[in-house]
Amino acid sequence: MTTLIDGKALAKKTNEITQQRVSSLAHQGITPGIAVVIVGEDPASLIYTRNKHRKAQKLGIYSVLNQFPATISQAELLTEIDRLNADEQIDGILVQQPLPVQIDPAVVTQAIAPDKDVDGLNPLNLGKLFAGEGGHYPVACTPRGIMKMFSEYHVDLTGANVVIVGRSILVGKPMLALLNNANATVTLAGSRTKNLSALTRSADILIVATGVPQLIKEADVKDGAVVIDVGINRLPSGKLAGDVDFAGVKDKARLLTPVPGGVGPMTIASLMEQTVDLAQWRHHG
């Protein structure tokens, strides 16, 4: 019997705790702040950033949404990031991707101060994560949200055979480090990995983040596996679909995230939670 992981319910629970923390900090004269920067008019990015902005405001977080034309130069964008790095009201900075061709995402990520890197993608923070360092530093929000799902649904990671399909810096690579630090045995694959199906069928836990609609079919999944579908794709019919064939896998997996309503809500909840973390760490260490 497959259990669907309810990302909406877990996000609601997470946001309630975040709101309580924001209220507690307010009594100390501290208001966590986030700045979301978007370049251009990508429709999906505009919806996503506005949702983040509204959610932050609803939770009592100070939020600014800075939109720039697609023609902005890299130098001009870096000047804006420098300004936000120095802004005492801002604890977390997020630059929404994709970015126009004239802007190097790696340069932008490196320009964000590590202690304001709410997306957890600055090389210093990634290095700490891969080194398994203790202490306070941000980690990528989607993997952070997935780890909370594992905790909530009592998924034992110790010694588990995990396969991640998708090697992005946003999901696959930080997910690898988090799971490795949790004593799982992790394989990082891509959509072009040879004999991918044989590899995914060996996984106790399968995490898919490729952007390829319904890449993973029923035959690619081990009986009783935990399947985390990070993808969200709009099909020609207009319907949303994940990277996993939900209809085929739903009776085979032990735990499965739906699309939508699975990983997505937890990504935004983790972003809000981490913004409050950054404020707390800045003021209290």
The full set of domains in the chain, from first to last, is: 28-113 (3.40.50.10860), 141-264 (3.40.50.720)
Q: Which one from 6, 91, 117, 119 is the annotated catalytic residue? A: 119
Residue 22 three-state SS:
helix
3-class SS of residue 260: coil
Strands (E), 155-259: 161-165, 185-189, 205-208, 226-229, 233-234, 240-241, 255-256
| Residue 119 among the catalytic residues | yes
User: What pLDDT score was predicted for residue 47?
Assistant: 86
| Span 235-271, pLDDT tens digits | 899 898 999 999 999 999 999 999 999 999 999 999 9
What are the beta bridge partners of residue 93?
35, 117
Element (H, E) at 110: helix 105-111
- Rounded to whole angstroms, how far apart are CA atoms 182 and 39? 36
| Distance separating alpha carbons of residues 70 and 57, to the nearest angstrom | 26
Could you say which of 6, 91, 96, 173 is catalytic? 96
Residue 209 CA to residue 168 CA, distance in Å, equals 8
CA neighbor of 200 nearest in space, from 180, 183, 218: 218
Q: Which of 52, 128, 148, 173 is catalytic?
A: 52
Q: What is the pLDDT of residues 8-58, one digit of tens each?
A: 999 999 999 999 999 999 999 999 999 999 999 988 888 889 999 999 999
Distance CA 151, CA 145 (A): 10
Q: What tens digit of pLDDT does each residue of 116-142 get?
A: 999 999 999 999 999 999 999 999 999
The one-character DSSP state at 5 is P
Sheet holding 92-95, edge to edge: 62-68, 33-39, 92-95
| pTM for the full predicted model | 0.96
Cβ 228 vs Cβ 205: under 8 Å: yes
